[in-house]
Chains A and B, each alone.
Chain A
Amino acid sequence: MDEHWSVAAHRHFTAAGVRQVAYVPDAGLTRLIERCREDNAIETVMCATEEEGIGLSAGAWLGGQKAAVLMQSSGVGNTINAIASLITSAHFPLFTVVTMRGQWGEGNPWQVPMGQAVTPVLEAVGAKVFQADTAEDVAPMIEAGLRMAYSTDQAVAVLVSQRVIGSKIWVADKKEGGQ
């Protein structure tokens, strides 16, 4: 299947009835964000920090709508108290797609500590983590993750590996490489 994972991800959002998508942009999320923005059935909400998306998702659910929150791995660090204190405490569903940095082939040392901490930190606050290491993993994990989050009232995160989205190449005096 040559289809980009973002196309299948958006299809699963639609099938599951996702109506609100909060995001903080990341290069690896560009196509998924664009597909959601072009979809009149989905309200996209650009957030200034990832923590906002956690609140938006809970508010959507209070009003009867499902949401998805899209973020880069660095942003997971901004969400932890909101996930622990709101989502886990009050048994809200939460579904998030996290594009990873700081792992496979990372060239920026400042990305590594948070990237490596994503899984243990999310698990510590009660989230279930699905790790997508290949492009083929992503769509079924999004489908299963959405179902689990909204059937069992808990936080589920699908981590899209840097192996899927590609690593930035950093070379002195050259334009930065592909994302």
Chain B
Amino acid sequence: MTGYVLHRREVLAAALADRGDTLFVTGLGSATWDLASLGDQAENFYLWGAMGNAAMIGLGLAIARPDRRVVVITGDGEMLMGLTSLTTIGARRPANLAICVLDNERYTETGRQPTATGLGTDLAGVAAACGFLKTATIRTETESAGLGALLLRTQGPVMAVAKVVDEALPMAVPPRDGGYLKTRFRIGVLGERAATLP
């Protein structure tokens, strides 16, 4: 619970430095602010709600776009709420999907109450038991050096859990209009004509 050394935004920034044309989905709250803090772009679909659904949005996207890498960035509370989706993803095994849980063992947005990941639940272990091809729990600087390769280049489904410091960070607020974020993402992936015409 204590003694973690990794800082979520530093870990993420280093891992995603060469994100290329990767498509991102973020779970609501901290994970959305974290990805936005690295710079806003069309290929980021941020959730501002729909808690528990980030991984499944990633699966639908990964099936629709087998030619693209899809990475879901989320928090431990959001992943716990969508835990059943790990069984579904494990059964379907999309090679182009990776999930990164930035795990501070807290429901950060609601007042930093403890989550089950600090009380026994091992999310990488759950994912492994569901049939994920590659799982890892990252605790040290040395281990975090491999996070980019896990998320961007390792055959999926990948579950990478980074145990991070529980810290108060400034909000980095991306656009919040869901219709705008959806259409902007679709234009980024499909082109304006295919994304907007019937």
Contacts and interface: CB of A to CB of B under 8 A. Distances in A.
Interface of A: 19-20, 43, 45-49, 51-65, 67, 81-82, 85-86, 89-92, 151, 153
A82 B81 CA distance: 12
A61 B61 CA distance: 7
B149 interface: no
Contact of A20 (B23, B45, B60): B60
A107 to B, nearest CB: 29
B41 interface: no
Interface hub of B23, B59, B82, B195 (most chain A Cβ within 10 A)? B59
Contacts of B178: 86, 89-91
A56 B57 contact: yes
Contacts, number: 127
Given A48-B84, A59-B61, A92 B182 contact: yes
B54 to A, nearest CB: 8
A60 B63 contact: yes
Interface hub of B52, B64, B82, B88 (most chain A Cβ within 10 A)? B64
A151 B47 CA distance: 23
Contacts of B185: 62
Interface string B70-86: 00000000000010110
A52 B84 contact: yes
Given A52-B84, A52-B88, A64-B194, A59 B50 contact: no
B88 A45 contact: yes
B104 to A, nearest CB: 23
Given A49-B84, A90-B179, A64 B190 contact: yes
Interface hub of A51, A59, A89 (most chain B Cβ within 10 A)? A59
A45 B50 contact: no
Contact of B88 (A43, A46, A59): A46
A45 B65 contact: no
